[in-house]
Amino acid sequence: MAEPDLAVRNVKAAPVTPAKASPEIRIKVSWCKGCGLCVEYCSRGALEMKDALVRVVDAEKCSRCMLCEAICPDFAITVVDRNVDPAGGDKETP
Amino acid sequence: MTEYSKYLRLDKFPLIWCPGCGDGIVLKAILRAVDRIGLDRNEICMVSGIGCSSRTPGYVDVNTLHTTHGRALTFATGVKMARPDLTVIVVTGDGDATAIGGNHFIHAARRNIDITVILYNNWIYGMTGGQVSPATPMGARASTAPFGSIEPNFDIAALAAGAGASFVARETVAKPLLLDRLIERAIRKKGFSLVEVMTPCPTTYGRLNNAGDAVEMTLYLREHAVSKAKAETLSEEQRQDAIVTGVLVDLDKPEYAEQYARLAERLRAPAAFSRA
Amino acid sequence: MSSASPVRVMSGNEVCAEAAMAAGLRFFAGYPITPSSEIAEELAVRLPRAGGVFMQMEDEIAAMGAVVGASLAGVKSMTATSGPGFSLKQENIGFACMAEVPCVVVNVQRGGPSTGLPTMPAQGDVMQARWGTHGDHPIIALTPYSVAETFELTVRAFNLAEAFRTPVILLMDEIIGHVNEKVRLPDSVEVVERKGPDTTPDQYLPYRHTEDGVPPMAAFGRAGYRFHVTGLAHDETGFPTNDPVEIDRLNRRLNGKLERHRDAIVDVVRHACDDAEVAVFAYGSVSRAARQAVDEARAKGIPVGLLRSRTLWPFPDVEVRELGEKVGTILVPEMNLGQMAHEVEWAVRGACHVVPFGRVDGLPIRPGQILELIEQAVSRAGAGVRA
């Protein structure tokens, strides 16, 4: 394989630029039933199942598509986009 | 995204539904739709029958009515006609609405009364342990069809359309953001509006039919959902397992409560015919 | 009651509809069934004119559901049917009992069981009115004996429903429903409204265990008072519960609700009972024949009286027992095979003989038949009438 062009090596694949805050993915553990739907629907791999509960792998991978929140049947996960709401809002899960 | 908490009776959480049950996804979609329209909680009445679907109203902070099996539409009709200004939403299931509730289903559709029906179709009677329903696919197993159902199942959307509903749509929980758009349209529509939602029951249907876990069942729905236009291009065999989604019917027809109001107004006019 | 209105000739069914309107009925849902259909037909004309709603639903069950829904939305509601429809409605009547929803259910009784005798009278549903729906539940059932009394008791049915947050069954029969009699309708009637919430919305408990057993009732759509109604066993908040303490509390309050107010509900008329040594217990159209028989017997010097009840449930047990301690025999003529005779027997607890007489051929009991029973009772007693 050819040596990659050094000029492009450090460009991140995700659209999130380093200057922006990564979203906060809030999980209400007592409501999570471990169905795994959010992990399946996350196309960025920001989530994983661990001990029958979801947990955040890497919030920076989150693209704020909100599909995890939409697909969670139990209101157990929510994404707070601090670029939209810098204070983190009072957006409790749900 | 919607601030769900303002519509919820949070003290009733966590939700009663099984892990991976799609019903919670439907509930959230309903709330997103309601929020987008900007409805006042005091002006909504949510009516349900019996079954997993029908536990929904208990979690929603609006006027809620959990009735007898199959009869939600009858109570809802009374509420709507007593208070036509309220937004009446019926939450029901495949068994509740098309087995025991079948008669009320077709007549409410025929009347085209302004009620929005969200029908959670999980192809089985989940709450009571997995008995066969009119929506169970032929050949699929259920606790009361242990050798596979020998009955054809309803095309529920077609049933509603045939009965005269002015708005009929179908979606799956696998596409929650499309779902809430359809529910929004259904609520906004003046007339009998049905949104049939395919939702997995991993606990009964899933286990009895080796359909996999919640993720697998949801992905199945996602893979088999096709638009009406796409469905027309499929072969007979491909169409067997296709779930036709989207808006299937959207007609302008006289709505019952409005018709009744016009009759009443006509009768009160001085020139009205009066019986001796 | 005095009234300035003209004398009219009306049937029981027509008068029932008229009375319902006067009592504040504004939602009727029903289904055609002989011999009750005239009630629906009259209301189909009256209700839309009065700003109310009339609906012929797809079946009897739907009619009952709609009635409960409308009442929960704050509107006085009624349905009317006969035996087969009354059977169909039972589940939703039970829902109304459990959810404490005021409403009136008219049953114009006809011959049963099953399709029976659609155009002929009977009194075969009286026990069903008490226990037709499953589970321990209270119920009120009223039974008029004339067209004029149908007016009074229809209004009373609405008032009791509102006062006690309960369904009330109005038991007519085909004779009362269809016979035409002279009536002078009252100019005005006294109307009772359901007790509204006495707290702010955040304090509101739709199924509060109140002092008098009847929780205040808000209505769907009343701003702020968003409440949950379910047929499941529930606590004061209206939400379902599995707590045995709450379930027991609910069942006892619910079932005690009418019992504790029975003196206000039970309603009997005594005719010539003071010095009676034999008595007749009758209700509905049979009490017309009974009264004539009693009057004829009295003319012959027989000390007989009539206890006519206008309420079947709660049963007038105290009143019947009191009578049983005075007389030697109570005769119970009914157009059924002894459904209320059992209640009379139980109430008197052996204090006197109870003689049932049932006619189940679709024809009314004649005064002569009751007179014969009275005379037989007297002769059985021998020298002294008291057995």
DSSP line for C331-374: EEEESSSSHHHHHHHHHHTTSSEEEEEE--SSSPPPHHHHHHHH
Helix or strand (DSSP H, E) at C87: helix C83-99
- Name the A residues in 75-94 with CB < 8 Å from any B CB: 75, 78-79, 91-92, 94
As to burial, measured by CB atoms within 10 angstroms (0-12 exposed, 13-18 middle, 19+ buried), residue B124 is buried
Residue C106's nearest CA partner among C49, C43, C51 is C43
Q: Please check the confidence at residue A86 and state whether its pLDDT lies above 80.
A: no
Across the range B1-21, mean pLDDT stands at 93
B273 occurs within a structural domain: no
pLDDT at A94 (0 to 100): 45
Buried b (16+ CB within 10 A) or exposed e, A53-84: ebebbeeebbebebbbbbbbbbbbbbbbbeee
Buried b (16+ CB within 10 A) or exposed e, B129-143: ebbbbbbbeeebbbe
Model confidence pLDDT, tens digit, residues B209-262: 999 999 999 999 999 999 999 999 999 998 889 999 999 999 999 999 999 999
- Banded model confidence at residue A67, pLDDT cuts 50, 70, 90: very high
Q: Mention the CATH class of domain C268-381.
A: alpha beta
User: Please, what's the largest Cα pairwise distance for chain B?
Assistant: 69
Handedness of CA C334, C336, C340, C341 (dihedral sign): positive
- Give the closest-approach CA distance of C105 to chain B in angstroms: 15
A81 occurs within a structural domain: yes
pLDDT at C381 (0 to 100): 78
pLDDT at A81 (0 to 100): 80
Are the CB atoms for B114 and B190 separated by under 8 Å? yes
B274 occurs within a structural domain: no
Tokens 């309420």 sit on residue: C311
- Give the closest-approach CA distance of B121 to chain C in angstroms: 22
> Quick check: B212 contacting A, CB < 8 Å?
no
A67 occurs within a structural domain: yes
> Quick check: C134 contacting B, CB < 8 Å?
no
Residue of A34, A70, A79 lying closest to B28 (CB–CB): A70
Are the CB atoms for B18 and B213 separated by under 8 Å? no
The tally of domains found in chain A comes to: 1
Divide the 387 residues of chain C into consecutive groups of 10 and give the mean pLDDT of each group.
83 98 98 98 97 98 98 98 98 98 98 97 98 98 98 98 98 98 95 96 97 97 94 98 98 96 98 97 98 98 98 98 97 98 98 97 98 95 55
Residue C308, by phi and psi: left (phi above 0), alpha (psi -120 to 50) or beta?
beta
State which residue of chain A sits closest to B18, comparing Cα positions: A33
> Quick check: B21 contacting A, CB < 8 Å?
yes
- Give the closest-approach CA distance of A38 to chain B in angstroms: 9
CA distance C189 to C3: 11
- C92–B82 C-beta distance less than 8 A: no
- Name the A residues in 13-32 with CB < 8 Å from any B CB: 30-31
The residue segments making up the domain with residue A83 are 27-94
Neighbours of chain A (3+ CB pairs under 8 A): B
> Residue A51's domain is classified under what CATH number?
3.30.70.20
Indicate which of C54, C217, C220 best probes the interface with B, i.e. most B CBs within 10 Å of its own CB.
C220
Helix (H, G, I), strand (E, B) or coil at B203: helix
Rounded to the nearest 10°, the torsion over CA C249, C255, C260, C262 is: 170
Contacts 24+ apart (CB under 8 A), C215-220: C215/C100, C215/C165, C217/C100, C217/C102, C217/C165, C219/C72, C219/C73, C219/C74, C220/B45, C220/B63, C220/B65, C220/B79, C220/B83, C220/B86, C220/C72, C220/C73, C220/C74
Contacts 24+ apart (CB under 8 A), A52-57: A53/A27, A53/A29, A54/A27, A55/A27, A56/A25, A56/A27
Helix (H, G, I), strand (E, B) or coil at C71: helix
The tally of domains found in chain B comes to: 1
Looking at domain C7-184, its CATH architecture is 3-Layer(aba) Sandwich (3.40)
> Quick check: C135 contacting B, CB < 8 Å?
no
> Residue B260's domain is classified under what CATH number?
3.40.50.970
Proportion of chain B above pLDDT 90, given as a percent: 93
pLDDT at A85 (0 to 100): 58
B215: which chain A residues are within 8 Å (Cβ-Cβ)? 35-37, 40
pLDDT at C223 (0 to 100): 84
**What is the β-pairing status of strands A53-56 and C304-309?**
unpaired
B170 occurs within a structural domain: yes
Domain boundary assignment for chain C? 7-184, 268-381
Model confidence pLDDT, tens digit, residues B111-121: 999 999 999 99
Neighbours of chain C (3+ CB pairs under 8 A): B
Half-sphere exposure of C348 (CA within 13 A, CB side): 24
State which residue of chain B sits closest to C91, comparing Cα positions: B68
pLDDT at B131 (0 to 100): 98
Residue B188 has a CB neighbour count (10 Å cut-off) of 14
B95 occurs within a structural domain: yes
Are the CB atoms for C170 and C16 separated by under 8 Å? yes
* Cα–Cα distances in angstroms (integers) from residue C183 to residues B187, C11, C14, C155, in the given order: 50, 9, 11, 15
* Cα–Cα distances in angstroms (integers) from residue C123 to residues B107, C308, C331, in the given order: 33, 15, 16
In degrees rounded to 5, what are phi and psi of residue C375? -65, -40
The residue segments making up the domain with residue B78 are 4-268
State which residue of chain C sits closest to B7, comparing Cα positions: C226
B119 occurs within a structural domain: yes
Looking at the DSSP bridge assignments, the partners of residue C355 are C331
pLDDT at C4 (0 to 100): 81
> Quick check: A67 contacting B, CB < 8 Å?
yes
Alpha carbon B173 to chain centroid distance? 12
pLDDT at A20 (0 to 100): 67
Which two tokens mark B72? 């939600």
Helix (H, G, I), strand (E, B) or coil at B119: strand
